[in-house]
Amino acid sequence: MAEVKVVFTPSGLTGTVESGSTVLAAARQLGVDLDSVCGGRGLCGRCQVTPSNGDFAKWAISSSPDSISSSGPVEADYRGKRAIGDGHRLGCAVEILKDAVFDVPAESQIHKQVVRKNVNIADLVVDPAFTLHYLELETGEFDSDPEAIAAVRAKLKTDWSIADVAISDHCSSSLATAAKSTTLTIALRRNAQPGDAHAPVLVAVWPGFVDRVAGVAIDIGSTTVAGHLCDLSSGQVLASAGRMNPQIRFGEDLMSRVSFVMMNPGGEVELTDAIRVALNELVGELVDAVGPGTEIDRSRILDLVLVGNPVMHHLALGYDPVPLGQAPFELHTDKPVHGTAGDVGVDAEFCSMYFAPCIAGHVGADTAAAICSEEPHRSQKIQLLVDVGTNAEIVLGNEDHLFAASSPTGPAFEGAQISAGQRATAGAIERVRIDRQTLEPKFKVIGCDLWSDHDDFDAQTASSGVTGICGSGIIEVMSEMFLSTLITSDGVIDGANAARTNRIVPSERTFSYQLTDTIHITQADVRSIQLAKAALRAGIDLLLEHLAAETGLTEVDEVRLAGAFGAHIDPLHAMVLGLVPDCELPNVTSVGNSAGSGAVKALLSRTARHDLEVTVEEVTKIETATEPRFQELFVAALAFPHLSAPTTHLANLIELPAKQESASDGRPRRRRRRS
């Protein structure tokens, strides 16, 4: 029987199966994380997948509707508790006839994503843009909407001393209906920033008494979409939630998604629809998470603040992302975008929408929000702020000068392109230590606090197992292998260590390190991390050169690692690999989801929102793709920790191996390390 090629996202697992195989069978054959309780009998509905159509250059696949079988009696007769979602198919019922691409949604995965994005706004002074006003009218009967509007304006003037109120278009026809109860509550949006003299605008109206309204801040990441529902008066974060970005099925990295649009006419509509559906569902999830008795529903949401990288910015707003994929990487707009929630597909009748401004073609509104959160522009110290993701965004400077750039790290840090890599789910290795003498490893997995050498480890991880290695674990195992001299400074797994441990095993023409019975760290894994970290470090070094040229300063005082991944990187291991420049270790800190925190600040404070916009205008943008020095800096950054940069602070903390380089015969040679 003929074989066909199949790809599963977001895992990126690829392989060939026999034509006519079901999607569930293919998933099992390739080790895809696809759930099923009924064993493929079409009863449980857990194995739902989304077929993806179009030309996928990354995998050299053209996937179309005739790549799979049409709906049959199993799906037609399905009556299980889990309804088949829009665009979904039952994996146990769909046969693969030709090359095809399938997305496994989060709800169909056995090991569902652990979204670890928190928000920190401890020092924020709430400066709300909205105020509520309760009115008691003498009569609820009006012959026309203008009469109701006039009555409300008169009552605002007499009861609240507020005159010259403008009425938003979507409220002008709602006032008469709400006024029938004779008591109503209105929401006024005040001036955009303190000091403005513009008249307030009536933006919402409800019958009866309302004393609580909310807003939503969302960080649209290329991998994860994280949102926070906040009380607009108190600033309290009422609920937080996150989900995988459904655009992953079109490509894990941003340029793959832009490429999809380039190669598939109308592809931008698919990508825009996908993220807008996710935004709307996330808002619903946040409202549901608040719980009963809180009187928060969609009608009480008055403001939606969005941040994201430039590609996410363009796709959410319906702008063409193609110019972002080719020089000179022009933005559709670098100004803040104002509108309604409905403009981005969110169902909330009274809700306005604000998308923070992007900084440059590869430096987005999420970086602007991170600056708003961490405030390097208010510090005398030189601060390096790095959001480590598929496209690392970097900010460097202080109150006098601020530089920003992005660097194409790719998805390796998030587990993609790593042989046993996976996202941060239960069972994923997240911490690693290697004994310097015996070269034996121990590790921790998500969901268990014990190290693997503890007697109770197997029992406590029986339900999840040890399923792979996530980003923080990848950083640590690479660092530990380097410190144990298993990896040379130029990134070669040293086969000579096979004489010291049976964990170094031949792997084709190279070697690998056996971390567990089933998880090996291969030479290709090391190279993927080496390339990703070199791209990140080269971007940082490029900004340092610009800072030095401008100010004469050459050292970083403090490093802040941001983002869901950055929040779980061990600072010492990051410095050992050379992800960040040499620095005093206490000054290297993880700051969590600073983009999300900045978005919440912009939601709750007019002052913070205005400050964000002013600061963005003052940032010096550096485009790494067009900088002639980037490639030279990239080559120097390939070495662990670095080919030439000093490691003075690091050498005081830990004993670094002598530098090893591969000789012409492939064996490592050593030279004395200089701090």
Give the integer Cα–Cα distance in Å for 149 and 145: 6
DSSP annotation string for 480-503: HHHHTTSB-TTS-B-GGGGGT-TT
pLDDT band at 664 (very low <50, low <70, confident <90, very high): very low
Give the integer Cα–Cα distance in Å for 661 and 96: 48
The model's pLDDT over 615-647, given as tens digits with 9 standing for 90+, comes to 999 999 998 888 889 999 999 999 999 999 989
The pLDDT of residue 219 is above 90? yes
Weakest mean pLDDT among 172-186, 239-253, 511-525, 645-659: 172-186
Give the integer Cα–Cα distance in Å for 14 and 470: 19
Are 207 and 181 a contacting pair, CB within 8 Å?
A: yes
Say if 317 falls within a structural domain.
yes
DSSP H or E run through 303: strand 301-308
The pLDDT of residue 669 is above 70? no
Domain end marker among 108, 142, 159: 108
Task: State which residues form the domain around 70.
Answer: 3-108
Give the integer Cα–Cα distance in Å for 139 and 180: 8
Regarding whether 593 and 504 lie in a shared domain, the answer is no
- Per-residue pLDDT, 111: 62
Regarding whether 244 and 147 lie in a shared domain, the answer is no
* DSSP secondary structure code for residue 83 in this structure: P
Give the integer Cα–Cα distance in Å for 221 and 525: 24
pLDDT band at 18 (very low <50, low <70, confident <90, very high): very high
Regarding whether 562 and 428 lie in a shared domain, the answer is no
- Per-residue pLDDT, 584: 92
Average pLDDT score over residue span 237-255: 87
Are 219 and 595 a contacting pair, CB within 8 Å?
A: yes
How many domains does the chain divide into?
A: 5
Measuring CA to CA, how many Å separate 244 from each of 114, 291, 408? 10, 23, 21
Regarding whether 350 and 242 lie in a shared domain, the answer is yes
Bridging pattern class, strands 13-18 and 48-52: unpaired
pLDDT band at 113 (very low <50, low <70, confident <90, very high): low
The pLDDT of residue 118 is above 90? no
Only one residue has tokens 């109503």, namely 184
DSSP H or E run through 16: strand 13-18
Dihedral over Cα of 257, 262, 267, 269: its sign: positive
Query: Which amino acid, residue 611?
Result: D
The pLDDT of residue 51 is above 60? yes
Give the integer Cα–Cα distance in Å for 233 and 264: 46
Weakest mean pLDDT among 179-188, 333-342, 496-505: 179-188
The model's pLDDT over 53-93, given as tens digits with 9 standing for 90+, comes to 999 988 889 999 999 999 999 999 888 777 888 889 999 99
- Per-residue pLDDT, 623: 86
- Per-residue pLDDT, 419: 87
- Better-predicted residue by pLDDT, 118 or 57: 57
The pLDDT of residue 414 is above 90? no
Give the integer Cα–Cα distance in Å for 264 and 420: 31
Name 206's bridge partners.
185
63: domain CATH number is: 3.10.20.30
Describe the crossing of helices 523-551 and 471-483 by its angle, rounded to 10 degrees: 90
* DSSP secondary structure code for residue 91 in this structure: T
Weakest mean pLDDT among 288-292, 339-343, 554-558: 288-292
**C-beta atoms surrounding 475 within 10 Å:** 26
Regarding whether 313 and 233 lie in a shared domain, the answer is yes
The pLDDT of residue 307 is above 80? yes
The model's pLDDT over 513-566, given as tens digits with 9 standing for 90+, comes to 999 999 999 999 999 999 999 999 999 999 999 999 988 888 899 999 987 667
Nearest to 376 by CA among 543, 536, 195: 543
Burial of 426 (0-12, 13-18, 19+ CB in 10 A): middle
Say if 592 falls within a structural domain.
yes
Q: How many CA atoms lie within 13 A of 375 on its CB side?
A: 10
Domain end marker among 159, 175, 207: 207
Bridging pattern class, strands 383-387 and 558-562: parallel
Describe the crossing of helices 365-374 and 310-317 by its angle, rounded to 10 degrees: 120
Q: For the chain, what percent of residues have pLDDT higher than 70?
A: 93
Regarding whether 458 and 407 lie in a shared domain, the answer is no
* DSSP secondary structure code for residue 84 in this structure: P
Regarding whether 542 and 406 lie in a shared domain, the answer is yes
Nearest to 250 by CA among 55, 21, 461, 33: 55
The pLDDT of residue 220 is above 80? yes
Are 661 and 672 a contacting pair, CB within 8 Å?
A: no
The pLDDT of residue 418 is above 90? no
DSSP H or E run through 103: strand 100-103
Say if 506 falls within a structural domain.
yes
Distance of CA 593 to the CA centre of its chain: 9
Are 342 and 332 a contacting pair, CB within 8 Å?
A: no
DSSP, collapsed to helix, strand or coil, labels residue 22 as: strand
Measuring CA to CA, how many Å separate 83 from each of 50, 175, 384? 14, 39, 48
**C-beta atoms surrounding 545 within 10 Å:** 16
pLDDT band at 655 (very low <50, low <70, confident <90, very high): confident
Say if 670 falls within a structural domain.
no
105 backbone dihedrals φ, ψ, rounded to 5°: -65, 160
Say if 362 falls within a structural domain.
no
Give the integer Cα–Cα distance in Å for 213 and 166: 20
Nearest to 40 by CA among 22, 54, 53: 22
Are 280 and 346 a contacting pair, CB within 8 Å?
A: yes
Regarding whether 516 and 622 lie in a shared domain, the answer is no
Regarding whether 351 and 248 lie in a shared domain, the answer is yes
Say if 675 falls within a structural domain.
no
187: domain CATH number is: 3.10.20.880
Cis bond upstream, residue 194 (ω within 30): no
DSSP H or E run through 368: helix 365-374
Say if 674 falls within a structural domain.
no
pLDDT band at 129 (very low <50, low <70, confident <90, very high): confident
The model's pLDDT over 375-398, given as tens digits with 9 standing for 90+, comes to 999 999 999 999 887 778 999 999
Regarding whether 391 and 340 lie in a shared domain, the answer is no
Regarding whether 470 and 439 lie in a shared domain, the answer is yes
Domain end marker among 207, 233, 254: 207
Are 198 and 188 a contacting pair, CB within 8 Å?
A: no
Average pLDDT score over residue span 217-244: 90
Regarding whether 328 and 249 lie in a shared domain, the answer is yes
The pLDDT of residue 169 is above 60? yes
CA angle in degrees (0–180, nearest 5) for 6-282-591: 95
The pLDDT of residue 570 is above 80? yes
What does pTM read for this prediction?
Answer: 0.85
Say if 563 falls within a structural domain.
yes
Distance between terminal CA atoms of the chain?
A: 61
